[in-house]
Amino acid sequence: MTDVFAPATLGPITLRNRVIKAATFEGRTPDALVTDELIAFHRETAAGGVGMTTVAYCAVAPGGRTDRHQIWMRDEALPGLRKLTDAVHAEGAAASAQIGHAGPVANAASNRLPALAPSRMFSPLGMRPMKVPDESQIRELVTAHADAAKLAERAGFDAVEIHFGHNYLASSFLSPLLNRRKDRYGGSAANRARFVREIACAVAEAVGGRLAVTAKLNMEDGVRGGLTVPESLQVAAWLEADGALDALELTAGSSLLNPMLLFHGDAPRQEFAKVLPGPSRLGFRMVGRGFLREYPYREAYLLERARQFRRELTMPLILLGGITNLDTMRLAMREGFEFVAMGRALLREPNLLRRIQSDEAAQSACTHCNLCMPSIYTGTKCVFRLDQRADAAVVPVPVVARPH
């Protein structure tokens, strides 16, 4: 059986093991630049033993942020990003930058720039209509992804993860519900997949062979009329045939309409309502039950969907969702997945992997209460960790649950 803790190849790089820290919004960049708090966050995760940690979220354009406090990839961000990757490398781990454009999930009011969507939509975040990019602007967005990947390489990252999930811009193009275009980027599944394929190929051309290139792909949106598993399987097959990606990380859910499909576990509606500003709090109390749905937690809760991708594809796949102990990691390896990705369990215990390596029966202390979700307003953390800094940077964020 594949050893989870043995070195593993991911495209042109080698990781010290098969465990990746998943991209989870950190809330530690109040000036849209790397801070010491963000560096400490990833250094701690790297010291805890992961093979690679993923920085979320590095927007490819200023309007591609979920709010103006997030990093966007430009020269001004380079020194801080380099300091971050140096810190991660010093702990023996690799570093990946999650790049993408938030699209419909962007807050135009915060960014002071239009949010983008494949078709005409009204933004509940920016409280204004979204802009629909034409084909020339789509080409510019493809180039922006390639340029962001080049900057990630200059910053010392070992990999980039392209965000094709959660109804961010690329994911929204894949959705039949959100993409009602009549040009060659809408209509058929092949047309709706054109944008993501062009992005993947452009990024690979920009850094392929030097950095690993992965993508986070929705297996399904979890909303009526959205992307389904059969269509996502076809998209994944096209991405595999294009040969631009070194691995796919499989995810699910919509930051716009159904974020709990990714998380599973408790839905912290009351806690979210408490931290929202007045008008948003009232609206959330009215729609919160429909927005934060109930999905009981179980280990490897996305595995059943992901198995279908493993059967159909030969490219490396990363299993996400409910990976908290060695038994589940070994199950993923037996099922043919090359890597696993962990999120909340490492928020609770950044050193969990070290503990598992010394005690194979070790169990995560994470209870899947999801109270870390409302903490995005003050720097994402497990609220039960006693060693968390009380002076974490306070970062205003829009009213949306963001499983990056």
Place of tokens 């497990």: 382
H/E segment holding residue 340: strand 339-342
SS3 194: helix
What confidence category does residue 404 fall into, taking pLDDT thresholds of 50, 70 and 90?
low
> What average pLDDT does this structure show over 120-145?
91
Nearest-5° angle of CA 256, CA 257, CA 260? Answer: 105
First to last CA, the chain: 31
Q: Residue 35 has what pLDDT?
A: 97
The pLDDT of residue 128: 80
Strand ranges for 147-291 from DSSP E: 159-164, 212-218, 247-251
Residue 221 predicted with pLDDT over 80: yes
Please confirm whether the linkage preceding 57 is cis (ω < 30° from 0). yes
Identify the sign of the CA torsion 325, 331, 333, 335: negative
> Has residue 182 got a pLDDT over 60?
yes
List pLDDT tens digits, range 162-171: 999 999 999 9
Q: How far apart are CA 246 and CA 210, in angstroms?
A: 12
**Residue-averaged pLDDT of the chain:** 91
What's residue 238's pLDDT? 98
Q: Which two tokens stand for residue 78?
A: 């380079």
DSSP H or E segment with residue 21: strand 19-21
pLDDT (0 to 100) of residue 374: 84
Global pTM reads: 0.93
pLDDT at 403: 53
**Residues present in the chain in total:** 404
pLDDT for 180 beyond 80 = yes
pLDDT at 55 > cutoff 80: yes
pLDDT for residue 227 is more than 60: yes
Q: Would you state the pLDDT for residue 259?
A: 87
Residues 389-397: what's their mean pLDDT? 37
| Mean pLDDT of all residues in 304-320 | 98
Would the pLDDT of 191 be above 50? yes
pLDDT tens digits for range 12-46 = 999 999 999 999 989 999 999 999 999 999 999 99
- Give the integer Cα–Cα distance in Å for 276 and 374: 9
Phi and psi torsions of 172, nearest 5°: -65, -30
d(Cα 402, Cα 378) in Å, to the nearest integer? 14
What CA–CA distance (Å, rounded) separates 144 from 139?
9
Return the number of other C-beta atoms located less than 10 Å from residue 123's C-beta.
Answer: 22
Report, in angstroms and rounded to the nearest whole number, the Rg of the chain calculated over CA atoms.
19
Catalytic residue among 168, 185, 297, 301: 168
- Fold classified for 8-376: TIM Barrel (3.20.20)
Beta strands in 173-257 (DSSP E): 212-218, 247-251
Model pLDDT for residues 257-285, shown as the tens digit of each residue: 898 899 999 888 878 777 765 555 656 66
pLDDT value of residue 280? 57
Return all residues near 247 (Cβ < 8 A) that are at least 6 apart.
10, 11, 212, 214, 315, 316, 317, 318, 338, 339
pLDDT band at 395 (very low <50, low <70, confident <90, very high): very low
Relative to beta strand 317-320, strand 339-342 is parallel
Q: Is the pLDDT of residue 364 over 70?
A: yes
pLDDT > 60? residue 402:
no
Per-residue pLDDT reduced to its tens digit, 380-392: 999 998 665 444 3
For the chain, what are the domain ranges? 8-376
State yes or no: is 297 an active-site residue. Answer: no
Cα-Cα-Cα-Cα dihedral sign, residues 24, 200, 320, 276: positive
Least confident of 107-121, 241-255, 319-333: 107-121
Q: Which two tokens stand for residue 128?
A: 């204004």
What is the predicted pLDDT for the residue at 401?
A: 43
The helix (run of H) or strand (run of E) holding residue 59 is strand 52-59
